[in-house]
Amino acid sequence: VFAAEQKRRPSIRVMSSDTARLITSILADPLARLPSFPRYGPLEFPFAVAVKTGTSQGYRDAWTIAYSRKAIVGVWLGRADAGTMNQLSGAASSARLAHAILAHIHGTKPGDLAQDAFPPPRGRVPVEMCLTGGRNGGACGETLIEWVRPDEAQSLETARSAPPAEGAPSPEPPRAAPDAITLAVTTPEHNVHIWRNLEQPAASNKLALQASASPHVEQIVWYVDGRPFAMAEPDKPVFWPMQPGVHRFQARLPLQPGVSRVVKVTIE
């Protein structure tokens, strides 16, 4: 237990800011956790969070350390007698508690998309890089943002302006920016009222979800009542098991801004 009047020891830097930034970017990247940790679980947040979990031998300890711009949360789960738990891992138990605590601190709820990103590193400038290497000149299929020193940015600019080597493959055409992509739910219609066929097996009462994207994108994420349900091509139907009540459906772009209008459906 710590008290506000307690004396604090002088802080000591144990790693460089660049090292801390690199570790943070890895721990906050949901794709870097695949395939060990699936998407849209307790390790994923609607705002930037770096997460590390751990599980001791015999499931005696399950812990999670998570930090955002606002708070650092540490959760340990275990038995008072140091005995083994029933296969409770850090990702499956303590991570859920850390997720709930940080969501409460940030005041978010399922379906939100906050902009609480980690602060940019000092003395660095952002450079858009091609995923396959080199600075983006408008012809990359996949890109990422890297923070480099100003002199490094200048050298990358010089390298980009150099002519391509003989025999080099042609660059890919640029993809549409996220704000230029229009998503729309085409099925079901907004405010539609649907009655289930109670004589059919429950597994047969499914609602087809279909969307459109202009220009075309490879994948969208379907959200049902603010929670991710499935990932699919926008023009390919996805079938949701119908449940009674009022439900809201939305299509979103994965890992980037871009959402459709919410469609409300009442199921009887």
Q: What is the pLDDT of residue 163?
A: 53
Q: Which CATH superfamily is domain 178-267 in?
A: Immunoglobulins (2.60.40.10)
Domain range annotation of the chain: 17-106, 125-161, 178-267
The model scores a pTM over 0.85 = no
Q: How confident is the model at residue 72 (pLDDT cuts 50, 70, 90)?
A: very high
Query: Taking 80 as the threshold, does the pLDDT of residue 217 lie above it?
Result: yes
Task: Please state the φ and ψ torsions of residue 121, each to the nearest 5 degrees.
Answer: -70, 145
Please write the tens of the pLDDT for every residue from 147-196: 788 888 777 655 554 455 555 555 444 455 555 788 999 999 999 999 87
Q: How far apart are CA 152 and CA 71, in angstroms?
A: 33
Phi-psi region of 33 (alpha: psi -120 to 50; beta: other; left: phi over 0): alpha
Task: Please state the φ and ψ torsions of residue 23, each to the nearest 5 degrees.
Answer: -65, -40
Q: Do the bridges between strand 192-194 and strand 263-267 make them parallel or antiparallel, or are there none, so unpaired?
A: parallel
* Cβ–Cβ < 8 Å for 76, 63: yes
